[in-house]
A and B are shown apart, each in its own frame.
Chain A
Amino acid sequence: MFVVRFLARRLFQGVIIVFLVSALIFTLLRVVPGDPVRLMAGGMAPEALIEQIATDMGLRDPIYVQFARYMSGVAQGDLGQSFVRPASGAALGGASFDDTTRSERAEVLTLIAETAPMTIQLALLAMIFALIIAIPIGIWAGLNPGRWPDRIALYLSSIFVSLPNFWLGIVLVLLLSVKLQLVPAIGYDGFAYTILPAFVLAIEIAPFIIRALSVSVASVMSQNFIAIAAVRGLTQTQIVFRHALKNSAVPLLNLLGVQFSMLLGGVLVIEFIFDYPGLGLLTINAVLQRDFPLIQGIAIVTAAAFVLINIFVDLIATVIDPRLDY
């Protein structure tokens, strides 16, 4: 019963948030200068044709009419069609305005569904790498607050957050792919192509995990039940893994929810650098091509994903720590 009420409330809030995000991005795209129809039809298209296409597509209606039409589509699971991408193949732009094959435009939902798994694969591998890097450092620092392991963790995380992802990506491609030829890097042709981008993303995430871990491990270790655990005859390792880590899980999960948007920002740039065919590359291309429906669709899907991840995180947190109440 508690779970049902919780889910109902949070989902309702989530719907409002997604609606606000859609309204914001929709308005934003309509008020900025630049006519997407001009880009769609090609530079040589006559003015009259552009007006006709724009009217046919409803782009000359008032913004609220367009928004209402769009949202009724979204409610039925229809995110519209891309302005520039054809349904078949990846050919972009360049075609003339009377080219008939251009009339078949790709569904936004299909484009997102095709690229999302690639991004999820990248994000999951990055998360695994980040945990491998951060857990030992974080625990070590948390067990020795104020001493040199703690200092090292501080310096390391300060350096990690100072590495711009695009620069690190370029340097690693130069060193590991070009010079040493250890891992493939640009494009996608098998799982190996995920390793380097995921590593760069992991370096971006790791400092936050290190910090959350060291803080919570340090605060748990100073509590009474830890001292009692030692009296009970538990070894240091057992104490760390049974008590300290379990208590750090909740802050870590919350961090995951909060840092989701940062993760997405990183994905965007890293996919662009590595020409990795995921949602991030799709987004950047959509922006550069002024593909309004695609930008809107991506914004709505990511906002929804954010809402769902946060609900999920809170739900898991209550399972781990029954004292929590949302």
Chain B
Amino acid sequence: MTIIDLPSSAADQERSEARIATRIWQHAFASTEFKIGLVVFVVLLSAALLYPWLSDIDPTKMNIRAKLTPPVFMGEDWTWAHPLGTDQLGRDMLARTLVGLRYSLLIGVSTTVLMVMVGALIGLFAGYFGGWVDTVLMRLTDAQLSIPMIILAITILGVSRPTIPSIILVLGLAGWPVYARVMRSMVMAERKKEFVRGAMVLGATDLRIMFALILPLVLPPMMFVAVLDIARMMIFESVLGFLGLGVQPPTPTFGNIIADGRKYLLNAWWIATMPGIFLVVTLTSINLMGAALERARNTVYGGT
């Protein structure tokens, strides 16, 4: 009887874990922070995605005659044609900001996904096998944690030409250690449970137990934490852009727009500040959702 019971008990476990994920969502969704964050985020996301259909202004098109136009209501010769004004080459700031937002989100999300994947994989192996595998992997993690990841990132990107894939790769590979640690401790806890030992008795291979049984249980709670890292990675991307090590111009990104605008700070303050406000609002919306999810996660886990 136990032989027949075992797989279903694993399935039960999975179901209850899925229920936990749903409960975390419900908890988070009930909070004001999450709703505010979600609404703001959806508005900004749709603006960034739909922009090409709503306007035909090219973010890289120069118009010297309209250069340094201030944003609406903010100076003498503002126009509705350029709600956020124009930069030193007459390029429309709103278009540039929205394109920048798109790259920022693209890099933020892909980097976080890569980071979680690498960290989860390393943590899974370390936590499951233990022993020398664990020791080696965790020493590697410690070593990586003690190099400030920004030094690593700017070193690699500074000596090679930065492209979108290389930025994602560098940031993703620099950020995995935290996930490896969290994953390892969760896997170690799961590994001791009965359904894992049962599966071993049944002759399931290690890889099958790791990826089919343990991973689906421990991955979802980690995803909630990862939301906050999307915002962190977006800041990182903008820092790289600001240092000239991000996506290269003429592609507008928050970092390179602000770095450009810094030179014109005294006579055209809006070039550096306006895109920054957009970035701050976007990040705040993501961080509010992330914080609400984290709290919900703590209450749900604390309550069970």
A-side residues, CB < 8 A to B, are 13, 16-18, 20-21, 24-25, 28-29, 32-34, 151, 154-155, 157-159, 161-167, 170-171, 173-174, 178, 261-262, 264-265, 268-269, 272, 283-284, 287-288, 290, 295, 298-299, 302-303, 306-307
Q: Is the CB of B143 within 8 A of A33?
A: no
A17 CA to B239 CA in the complex, in Å? 27
Enumerate 6 A-B pairs (CB-CB under 8 Å) in ascending A order: A28-B156, A151-B33, A167-B258, A268-B154, A269-B242, A287-B155
Contact of A34 among B32, B159, B258 (CB under 8 A): B159
For the complex formed, measure the closest distance between the CB of A15 and the CB atoms of chain B, giving whole angstroms. Answer: 12
Q: Is the CB of B272 within 8 A of A17?
A: no
Q: A28-B156, A171-B273 are in contact. List 18 more A-B contacts (CB 8 A).
A: A16-B143, A17-B143, A24-B147, A25-B152, A154-B33, A154-B288, A154-B295, A161-B283, A162-B284, A163-B280, A164-B238, A164-B279, A170-B273, A265-B151, A268-B148, A269-B242, A288-B158, A295-B151
For the complex formed, measure the closest distance between the CB of B302 and the CB atoms of chain A, giving whole angstroms. Answer: 10
For the complex formed, measure the closest distance between the CB of B93 and the CB atoms of chain A, giving whole angstroms. Answer: 15
10 nearest A-B pairs in the assembled complex, by CB-CB distance: A162-B283, A265-B150, A167-B276, A20-B143, A261-B148, A287-B158, A162-B284, A158-B287, A306-B146, A264-B148
- Which of the segments B4-12, B204-212, B261-269 contacts the partner chain? B261-269
Question: Which bucket holds chain B's interface residue count?
Answer: 35 or more
Q: Is the CB of A167 within 8 A of B146?
A: no
List B residues 232-254 near A (Cβ within 8 Å).
232, 235, 238-239, 242-243, 254
Q: Is the CB of A155 within 8 A of B288?
A: yes
For the complex formed, measure the closest distance between the CB of A202 and the CB atoms of chain B, giving whole angstroms. Answer: 17
Q: Which residues of B contact A167 (CB under 8 A)?
A: 238, 258, 272-273, 276, 279-280
Contact of A164 among B156, B266, B280 (CB under 8 A): B280
Q: Say yes or no for B106: interface residue by CB 8 A criterion.
A: no
Contact of B147 among A161, A162, A299 (CB under 8 A): A299
Q: Is the CB of B287 within 8 A of A162?
A: yes
Residue of B nearest to A302 (CB): B148
For the complex formed, measure the closest distance between the CB of B145 and the CB atoms of chain A, giving whole angstroms. Answer: 7
Q: Say yes or no for B39: interface residue by CB 8 A criterion.
A: no
Residue of B nearest to A298 (CB): B151
B-side residues, CB < 8 A to A, are 32-33, 139-140, 142-152, 154-156, 158-160, 231-232, 235, 238-239, 242-243, 254, 258, 262, 265-266, 269, 272-273, 276, 279-280, 283-284, 286-288, 291, 295
Q: Is the CB of B159 within 8 A of A33?
A: yes
For the complex formed, measure the closest distance between the CB of A7 and the CB atoms of chain B, giving whole angstroms. Answer: 17
A261 CA to B139 CA in the complex, in Å? 17
Q: Which residues of B contact A29 (CB under 8 A)?
A: 155, 159
Q: Is the CB of A154 within 8 A of B291?
A: yes
A170 CA to B147 CA in the complex, in Å? 27
Q: Is the CB of A157 within 8 A of B291?
A: yes
In this complex, the member of A155, A173, A290 whose beta carbon has the largest number of chain B beta carbons within 10 angstroms is A155
A29 CA to B149 CA in the complex, in Å? 15
A157 CA to B294 CA in the complex, in Å? 14
Q: Which residues of B contact A32 (CB under 8 A)?
A: 156, 159-160
Q: Which residues of B contact A25 (CB under 8 A)?
A: 147, 152, 155
Q: Is the CB of A307 within 8 A of B231?
A: no
Q: Which residues of A contact B279 (CB under 8 A)?
A: 164, 167
Q: Is the CB of B150 within 8 A of A268?
A: yes
A166 CA to B149 CA in the complex, in Å? 17
Contact of B33 among A155, A164, A165 (CB under 8 A): A155
